[in-house]
Amino acid sequence: MKFTLGFSPCPNDTFIFDALVNKKIDTGGFEFDVVLEDVETLNQWALKARLDITKLSFPAFFQSTENYVLLNAGSALGKGVGPLVISKKNTPYSREDIQQSTIAIPGTHTTANLLLNFAFPEAKQTRPMIFSEIEHAVLSAETELGVIIHENRFTYQQKGLYKQVDLGEYWEQEMNLPIPLGAIAIKREIDNETAGKINDLIKQSLEYAYAKYPLLPEFVKQHSQEMSEGVMRQHIELYVNDYSIDLGRKGKEAIKTLYRTYASMQRKLSHLPSIDLFLS
């Protein structure tokens, strides 16, 4: 059986999927057509149900629950992993300053944007762009602020940028739960037995990568552009953890809480759809 599989070229995703897509583990006869794209592109594709299995941000998943269900393996959740609001100025911004500023965001359907709206509901001057362009947008004064994710968390200071707010820290203080950033979802039309086997393969792929760590697969290096190996490892150690192997009770509770938060922020949704979010 062959399935389309989409994930990002970021080290956390390539680390998780390397052994699976490069057949370092027995895939049990499953074949995968792999597409690597930035997460907002994957989010847009998920809204059109384009891929069989896909990495996506949670707001995009919440809009796609009729077509997709979450797998238990492969997600990015945790504490201290949230997006940061950064500025060019090394002076503190007040809450009012942030809400009145132009802010570059890594896509409308990203968890980063949801967390920004959660912390600063009056911040309306957002400008979606590819996550890798946000630092430049702030440095060039195209926008006053930017919301950064991924490896930019480790490099923004080297470029003369300053942290204003840790959006993940705000979520943790308010909810006392880990931050759900991204997930792996599979089409509901794929039967549960097959979906379960694919979930187990993703888990095995990650366990294989952990067994070799701190050695980095070539697959990770070749898609990390000019990132140093040290930054690659920082990225992996921040975003890949026990929740990536299995969501568990706490991870599922965090996702359900984010779902309720998302629904409450969407005025058109007066109630949550009665549909199971997770693979049974």
User: Which strands sit side by side in the sheet containing 126-128, from one edge to the other?
Assistant: 126-128, 103-105, 145-148, 84-87, 162-166
Catalytic residue annotation: 150
CB 247 within 8 A of CB 70: yes
Contact partners, residue 119, CB within 8 Å, separation at least 6: 165, 167, 170, 171
Tell me which residue of 129, 131, 119 sits closest to 175, measured CA to CA.
119
> Which of these, 51, 278, 66, 49, lies nearest to 180 by C-alpha position?
278
Radius of gyration, alpha carbons of the chain: 18
Give the whole-angstrom CA distance, residue 214 versus residue 172. Answer: 29
Name the token pair of 269.
């949704």
